[in-house]
Amino acid sequence: MMLTNTKISNIKPNNSLLRIKDSMGLYLYVGVGGTKTWVHRYKFKGKEFTIKLGNYPNLSLQKARQIRDKNKSSMQRGINPVLTFSFQTDKLKTFNDIFDEWMQFRKSSWTEDYFNNVFQRYEKYIKNNLGMMEIENIKSNMILKIFKEIESTNKLDTLQKVKGIMNQVFKYANGMGYASENPTQNIPTYVFRKKIKRHYSYLTNRNEISILLNSIDRYQGSFVTKNALKIAPHIFLRPSELVGLRWSDIDFLDMTINISAERMKNRRRHFIPISIEVYEILLEIKSYQLGGKFVFPSPLTNSRHISAESLRVALRRMGFKKEQITTHGFRHMASTLLHEFEFDTRAIEMQLSHCDKNTIRATYNHSELKDYRKKMMDYWSKLLEEIKNEKNFTSF
């Protein structure tokens, strides 16, 4: 049945793009955000074409049909309408417009850190190149140029993240009816260098671990960074999770850290027993009254925390090369040594927040292993203190 203004008004947006047929190739596309766009689909000399006519209600049902009829008249005269048609809208949205709208749409499902990371990558790699361009005018070759420039700096992780941002923004633009295609999908993956997977470097030799722990104690840089590094070997958190710790995560009475699911990589709540050694470091930090909600606040503003990169830079300043230790290496160091001391693999994996895909078993293990993990973490911290106090050489 053909559309009417009443029917159009009653159409509710879905979680995917709706394509509703009127007649003779005229369609109404309804985006996930509710934008309603007239589209004329037709065949000319055996090829299929799609023209966006304009947005409803700025372009009425009656006017959309008139434009469709005009296009059909052009085809009868041997003229392809796509060559002469001008999109009927007040203003085409720029990539900046779409990106801002997409960010607000996704904000509620992201962590604050992830939101900030996406925004910073956009500002650094995309905005100055494509931000002011109308979305329909952005072509695959323009996007490829940005990707290849990032690749030339050997930042292959960053390349993957920027590619993901571009792809998601264009998917959103398609769904909302702002763009007719996703040019990122026309770029083949084989034109990029593949990232060589490397294991994170870590230490297992007691003398080398002793040097590392003593070097952290003697570190002359930022007080906040130093204490983040002092805690890092003890609690096995990923660097981004460690620097993002909040005071509200810490239960000093129960001597535990409890991080909400939305801030964990695997999106599951994480419980961490803390030893007396970690407890004392946290109390010392708190006594300095640095302010704000973060345990490791940024030196620029206590409304944000330090970056994981701060930890890596500090290790390099202390003379440790990436072949010796990375910030992720603290996790591997703990796992390797605790396995050597024959601790239960389940407890080690839970402490590392490696996800158990069986939710029922995971819940059971959380309760079952709580006391065991507490004893394991106490043992581990005492072992680290013992290693640190051993007689050692001052450098490698």
CATH code for 206-388? 1.10.443.10
Please choose, from the candidates 3, 10, 19, 8, the residue with its C-alpha nearest in 3D space to the C-alpha of residue 175: 19
What integer pLDDT is reported at residue 368 of this predicted model? 53
* pLDDT of res. 307: 92
Q: DSSP readout, 130-175?
A: HTTSBGGG--HHHHHHHHHHHHHTT-HHHHHHHHHHHHHHHHHHHH
Q: Is 93 left (phi over 0), alpha (psi -120 to 50) or beta?
A: beta
**Which of helix, strand or coil describes residue 386?**
helix
Average the pLDDT over 46-60 and give the result.
85
C-alpha dist (Å) from residue 184 to 140, 145, 250:
6, 12, 43
pLDDT digits (tens, 9 = 90+) for 218-235: 999 999 999 999 999 999
Pairing of strands 250-251, 26-30: unpaired
For 153-172, the pLDDT digits (tens) are 888 888 999 999 999 999 88
- Percent of the chain whose pLDDT exceeds 90: 43
pLDDT beyond 80 at 267 = no
Helix (H), strand (E) at residue 119:
helix 112-121
Q: Does 364 score more than 50 pLDDT?
A: no
On the 0-12 / 13-18 / 19+ scale of CB atoms within 10 A, 291 is: exposed
Query: Considering only CA atoms, which of 239, 204, 209, 207 is closest in space to residue 225?
Result: 239
Q: What per-residue confidence (pLDDT) applies to 264?
A: 82
**pLDDT tens digit sequence for 107-147:** 877 777 788 889 999 999 999 999 888 887 899 999 999 99
In this predicted structure, the answer to whether residue 62 has a pLDDT above a threshold of 80 is yes
Confidence of residue 87 (pLDDT cuts 50, 70, 90): low
Tokens of 291: 């302010």
Dist CA 223 CA 285 (whole Å): 9
Residue 316 burial by CB count (10 A; 0-12/13-18/19+): exposed, middle or buried? exposed
Q: Which tokens belong to 7?
A: 């029917």
Rounded Cα gap, residues 118 and 123, in angstroms:
9
Select from 32, 82, 28 the least CA-distant residue to 55: 28
Q: Which CATH superfamily is domain 95-191 in?
A: Tyrosine recombinase, N-terminal domain (1.10.150.130)
What's the pLDDT at 54?
A: 83
pLDDT (0 to 100) of residue 90:
45
Q: What per-residue confidence (pLDDT) applies to 395?
A: 43
CATH number of 5-83: 3.30.160.390
pTM for the model stands at 0.54
For the stretch 281-291, pLDDT in tens is 999 999 988 88
Question: Cβ neighbours of residue 240 under 8 Å, at least 6 residues apart?
Answer: 113, 265, 308
What pLDDT digit, counting tens, does each position of 165-192 carry? 999 999 888 887 788 789 998 898 888 8
pLDDT at 56: 86
Domain boundaries along the sequence of the chain: 5-83, 95-191, 206-388
